[in-house]
């Protein structure tokens, strides 16, 4: 059985009109002089004084049936304002209020005006019919609620207001709501007070859904909202209370009866209106609270009873909406009536959807056979034509965000207006894990912590997932939802073992969590709605899986140096610290002098890791640590060949992830890690030992890296033992430049010079031609013009052809295997050093 319950002041209210001839009078209602009217500030927010002045005192009452906890039948401010009701809980008994909520609702609508007592009700033409359908604690079932609504409708209701809520869709109540709509009865309901989706019955399309605003005219943060929200009324009220008194109350259930009272005044003045027109009149005269038109937080705006009674009814309240820029914003779930005034008229609407999914449109034009119908086009380009059969919807796929709808008559020669009715609905997207409605179809998830989002897109949808665990550990599973219409259930089972089921207590629980120890094996997880929530849901659930494996260190025991795990070079080793005193020892060997590099990765961000390096005699060679928050630690150290040890420890144990250790080495030759087996290895070593060349600070010589002009100048100055230097005037070589002195020496020696623009280009790469020219000048060669160029890519007009001819003829330079020289290509550090060595050894 599914139970309704009001939260705080949240309950069911039902407003009924009397069937029969309604007479009108010219007299307006007087302004209230009730002694507690000053406390009813909410009446000023909805402009009640102007409404009373504009209303018609019909002398024929509309009956307001309060389907609730009953009414205080002896309250002095309700005396003469009641008609016989019914007690559905105790047949034959009177509908006495044993909670107080029904009495709160009744006073807002129909407390006697100007009787020198208490407060004033909104609708002097209203009479209260108390229908007790809820228990003293405010709970009740669907059957009693439906019975109360049907009782009211069958006894001549014109307005029905429902101020209780349930998150679950009910086909039974949907049928009762349709029953009332088919009999031209207006339904009004409170949206609920949980800051989530609009509750049922307010969420059913025919029902006028009412939210609450605070005194500052903003939506109360507790008021539910969404595409079903229609109108707002004040959240805080002062009204009649059980036992003949008065009290402050709040909630959307206090806002709904204000709209019901307003509807009674409108229908009293305009008895020929249909229920749809009364509803539309209240919506189109509401005051915008946010953006113009409708929005999800405030609907069509704040109830304005004066405007509802004084402004003319608009058959097409969305005009002007002739262009996309003027498009009227509609809820995703709505029913409207509008008109195309001529063959040239066109209507634009916009619908915002909070998710990907499908929009459905039911479009019914009047006299479609004679007019050719109406063409509906969405901004994605899909086009449909609506004729006489409106039973089948047009369905289009939409993305989260705004979709535009364009309507225009098919018959472009039509002379008359074409009225139409448009109904819209939305179906949320199918999540990417489908089809997983059965355990054997479970969607396989990886063995790790993760977060996924899913939907219940169809009737009876459930989602199965599986996860195979290779390690023991702990698993925490949490399901949260973004709507109260999902009441999640969580089923967890290890294959072959007993299952566990979790359900949040109460209606519409939005979070459910489980935590458990897990062992290796296959696990199944099922996420579903409670069994009664079987309809498709517009909303998402989030499944958070936090899996923490209990990892086993494969290297244990290695707590002592003599237990050290041998670490082969360039291989990975994993480990954990299972207690604060735990240490891990590793041993590695270097066959010759090398640069040892130690890398530790996958460290927890909340831990410090210390690595101490020892030689074979257990001499401490240094301790290294990562910074807190860093997930890695790396260091390098040049070491002679031999055996070494690394001791690892952490400031606090961890077993949720495994660190990874890798030791690499590079053989050092002349202190360099990158010249072993290089073609210029011996030259580089010799020149390094003589102090002519040096590498970079990270044990690199970079033999194949381009040599800069400043580096070349330094090598020549050192190799030729130049001592004299001149003052440099190059704009790009300051006296503080690291190579200033050596550049000054080679310039003084006439070996190199700057460029015509006054620069030297110290960091510019040296070309092969510049290298050749510098060595030639060091040799005192001036070049020769006779003979042919030895290289096809050094022509007779090339500026350095003479130097190339002479240097090639004397064996100082050589080209590439294809016979070319590439004079403008960059010279490498190894190439330049080789030709300088040749210069020294001539």
Res. 163: pLDDT tops 90: no
For the segment 805-826, the average pLDDT, to the nearest whole number, is 92
Residue 85 neighbours by CB under 8 Å, 6+ apart: 65, 66, 71, 94, 95, 129, 130, 131, 132
Pairing of strands 521-529, 511-518: unpaired
Query: Can you read off the two tokens belonging to residue 244?
Result: 């003949």
Give the pLDDT score at 350: 94
Same fold, 3-310 and 324-428: no
Beta pairing, strands 462-469 & 521-529: antiparallel
pLDDT of 615 strictly over 80: yes
- Taking the C-alpha atoms of residue 290 and residue 219, their distance in angstroms, rounded to an integer, is 10
Q: pLDDT (tens digit, 9 = 90+) per residue, 550-582? A: 888 899 999 999 999 999 999 999 999 988 999
Segments making up each domain of the chain, as ranges: 3-310, 324-428, 439-549, 576-590+598-660, 681-840
What mean pLDDT is predicted for residues 466-484? 90
The structure tokens listed for 361 are: 């449109």
Local confidence band at 16 (pLDDT 50, 70, 90 cut-offs): very low
CB atoms within 10 A of CB 104: 33
Which two three-digit tokens encode residue 213? 């605003």
Residue 251 CB partners (closer than 8 Å, separation 6+): 7, 8, 9, 10, 190, 193, 212, 222, 235
Least confident of 28-42, 57-71, 192-206, 578-592: 57-71
Catalytic hit among 163, 223, 253, 708: 253
Q: Which residue has the tokens 């199944």?
A: 524
| Comparison of pLDDT for 415 and 174, the residue scoring more | 174
Q: At 509, is the pLDDT very low, low, confident or very high (cuts 50, 70, 90)?
A: low
Q: What share of the chain is helix, strand, coil (3-state, %, to 5)?
A: 20, 30, 50
Q: Where are the alpha helices (DSSP H) in 749-787?
A: 768-779
Query: What's the average model confidence in pLDDT over 157-170?
Result: 84
User: Which entry of 34, 68, 72, 742 is annotated as an active-site residue?
Assistant: 68
pLDDT at 6 over 70: no
Neighbours of 760 (CB within 10 A): 23
357 backbone dihedrals φ, ψ, rounded to 5°: 165, -150
Say which residue, 631 or 509, is predicted with more confidence. 631
- Provide the pLDDT for residue 13: 31
Instruction: At 198, list the tokens.
Output: 């609009």
Least trusted range by pLDDT, from 136-140, 238-242, 699-703: 136-140
C-alpha span between 387 and 298 (Å, rounded): 34
Residue appearing with tokens 């054997």: 440
Report phi then psi at 221, rounded to 5: -60, -20
Is CATH 3.40.720.10 the right assignment for the domain spanning 3-310? Answer: no
Is the separation of the CB atoms in 192 and 199 below 8 Å? Answer: yes
- Quote the strand ranges of 568-686, DSSP E: 572-577, 583-590, 594-601, 609-615, 620-625, 633-639, 642-650, 654-667
**Which pLDDT score, from 0 to 100, does residue 2 have?**
41
What is the structure's pLDDT at 19?
28
Which two tokens mark 725?
A: 């230097």
Task: Identify which has the larger pLDDT, 171 or 524.
Answer: 524
pLDDT at 244 over 70: yes
Average pLDDT, the chain: 90
Backbone angles phi, psi at 425, to 5 degrees: -150, 165
The percentage of residues in the chain with a pLDDT greater than 90, rounded to a whole number, is 73
User: How far apart are the C-alpha atoms of 201 and 123, rounded to whole Å?
Assistant: 24
Task: Quote the CA–CA distance of 536 and 167 in Å, as a whole number.
Answer: 13
Fold of 324-428: Jelly Rolls (2.60.120)
Please give the structure tokens belonging to residue 701. 């010589």
Q: Give the N- to C-terminal CA distance of the chain in Å, as an integer.
A: 106
Check whether 796 has a pLDDT greater than 50.
yes
Q: Alpha-carbon distance 268 to 285, whole Å?
A: 17
Catalytic (active site) residue 253? yes
Percent of the chain with pLDDT over 70: 95
Q: How many CB atoms neighbour CB 283 within 10 A?
A: 19
Average pLDDT on 37-56 reads: 95
To the query of whether residue 98 is one of the catalytic residues in this protein, the response is no
* pLDDT for residue 504: 66
Q: Is 199 helix (H, G, I), strand (E, B) or coil?
A: coil
Is residue 737 exposed (0-12), middle (13-18) or buried (19+ Cβ within 10 Å)?
Answer: middle
Q: Is 598 left (phi over 0), alpha (psi -120 to 50) or beta?
A: beta
Annotated catalytic residue 68: yes
Q: 176-190, 497-511, 726-740, 784-798: lowest mean pLDDT where?
A: 497-511
The answer to whether residue 594 scores a pLDDT higher than 90 is yes
Residue 123 has pLDDT above 70, yes or no: yes
Pick the CATH number of 439-549 from 2.70.70.10, 3.40.50.300, 3.20.20.80, 2.60.120.380: 2.60.120.380
Indicate which residue of 34, 75, 97, 101 is catalytic: 101
The more confidently predicted of residues 165 and 272 is 272
């Amino acid at each position: 059985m599914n139970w309704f319950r009001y939260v705080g002041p949240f309950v069911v209210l039902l407003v009924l009109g009397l069937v029969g001839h309604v007479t009108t009078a010219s007299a307006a209602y007087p302004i209230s002089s009730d002694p507690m009217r000053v406390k009813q500030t909410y009446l000023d927010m909805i402009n009640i004084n102007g409404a009373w002045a504009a209303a018609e005192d019909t002398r024929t009452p509309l009956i307001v049936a309060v389907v609730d906890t009953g009414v205080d039948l002896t309250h002095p401010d309700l005396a003469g304002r009641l008609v016989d009701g019914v007690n559905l809980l105790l047949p034959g008994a009177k509908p006495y209020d044993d909670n107080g909520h029904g009495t709160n609702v009744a006073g807002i609508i129909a407390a006697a005006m100007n009787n020198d007592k208490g407060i004033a009700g909104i609708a002097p033409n209203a009479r209260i019919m108390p229908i007790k359908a809820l228990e003293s604690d405010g709970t009740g079932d669907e059957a009693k609620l439906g019975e109360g609504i049907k009782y009211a409708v069958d006894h001549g209701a014109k307005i029905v207001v429902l101020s209780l809520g349930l998150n679950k869709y009910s086909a039974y109540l949907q049928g009762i709501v349709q029953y009332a709509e088919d009999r031209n009865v207006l339904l009004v309901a409170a949206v609920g007070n949980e800051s989530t989706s609009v509750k049922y019955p307010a969420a059913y399309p025919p029902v006028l859904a009412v939210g609450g605003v605070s005194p500052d005219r903003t939506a109360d943060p507790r008021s539910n909202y969404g595409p079903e929200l229609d109108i707002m009324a004040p959240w805080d009220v002062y009204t009649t209370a059980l036992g003949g008194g008065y009290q402050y109350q709040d909630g959307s259930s206090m806002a709904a009866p204000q709209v019901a009272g307003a509807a009674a005044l409108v229908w009293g003045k305009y008895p020929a209106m249909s229920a749809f027109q009364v509803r539309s009149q209240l919506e189109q005269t509401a005051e915008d609270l946010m953006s113009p038109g409708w929005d999800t937080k405030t609907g069509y705006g704040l109830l304005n009873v004066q405007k509802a009674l004084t402004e003319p009814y608009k058959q097409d309240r969305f005009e002007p909406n002739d262009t996309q820029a003027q498009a009227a914003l509609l809820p995703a779930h709505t029913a409207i009536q509008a008109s195309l005034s001529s063959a040239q008229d066109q209507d634009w609407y916009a619908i915002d959807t909070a998710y990907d999914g499908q929009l459905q449109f039911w479009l019914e034009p009047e006299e479609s056979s004679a007019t050719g119908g109406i063409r509906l086009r969405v901004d994605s380009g899909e086009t449909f034509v609506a004729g006489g059969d409106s039973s089948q919807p047009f369905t289009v796929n939409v993305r989260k965000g705004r979709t535009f709808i364009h309507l225009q008559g098919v018959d472009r020669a039509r002379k008359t207006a074409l009225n139409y009715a448009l109904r819209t609905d939305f179906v949320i997207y199918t999540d990417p894990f489908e089809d997983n409605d059965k355990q054997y179809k479970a969607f396989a998830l990886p063995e790790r912590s993760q977060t996924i989002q899913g939907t219940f897109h169809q009737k009876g949808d459930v989602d199965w997932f599986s996860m195979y665990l290779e390690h023991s550990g702990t698993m925490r599973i949490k399901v949260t939802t973004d709507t109260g219409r999902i009441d999640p259930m969580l089923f967890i089972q290890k294959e072959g073992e007993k299952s566990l089921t979790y359900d949040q207590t109460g209606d519409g629980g939005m979070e459910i969590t489980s935590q458990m120890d897990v062992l290796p094996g296959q696990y199944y997880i099922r996420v579903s709605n409670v069994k009664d929530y079987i309809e498709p849901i517009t909303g998402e659930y989030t499944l958070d899986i936090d899996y923490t494996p209990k990892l086993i260190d494969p290297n244990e025991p290695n707590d002592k140096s003599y237990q050290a795990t041998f670490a082969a070079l360039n291989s990975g080793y994993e480990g954990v610290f299972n207690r604060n005193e735990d240490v891990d020892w590793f041993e590695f060997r270097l066959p010759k002098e090398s640069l040892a590099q130690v890398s530790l990765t996958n460290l927890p961000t909340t831990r410090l890791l210390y690595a101490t390096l020892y030689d074979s005699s257990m001499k401490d060679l240094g301790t290294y640590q990562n910074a807190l928050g860093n997930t890695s630690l790396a260091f390098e150290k040049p070491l002679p060949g031999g055996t070494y040890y690394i001791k690892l420890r952490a400031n606090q144990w961890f077993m949720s992830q495994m660190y990874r250790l890798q030791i690499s080495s590079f053989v050092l030759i002349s202190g360099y890690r990158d010249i072993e087996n290089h073609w210029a290895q011996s030259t580089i070593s010799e020149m390094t030992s003589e102090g002519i060349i040096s590498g970079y600070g990270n044990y690199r010589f970079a033999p194949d890296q381009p040599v800069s002009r400043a580096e070349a100048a330094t090598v020549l100055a050192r190799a030729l033992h130049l001592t004299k230097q001149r003052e440099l005037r190059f704009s790009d070589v300051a006296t503080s430049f690291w190579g200033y002195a050596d550049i000054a020496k080679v310039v003084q020696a006439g070996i190199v010079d700057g460029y015509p623009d006054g620069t030297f280009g110290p960091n510019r790469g040296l070309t092969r031609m510049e290298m050749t020219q510098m060595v030639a000048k060091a040799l005192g060669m001036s070049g020769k013009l006779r003979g042919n160029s030895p290289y096809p890519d050094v022509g007779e007009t090339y500026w350095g052809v003479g130097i190339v001819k002479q240097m090639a003829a004397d064996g100082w330079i050589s080209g590439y295997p294809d016979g070319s020289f590439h004079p403008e290509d960059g010279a490498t550090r190894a190439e330049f050093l080789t030709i300088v060595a040749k210069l020294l050894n001539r």
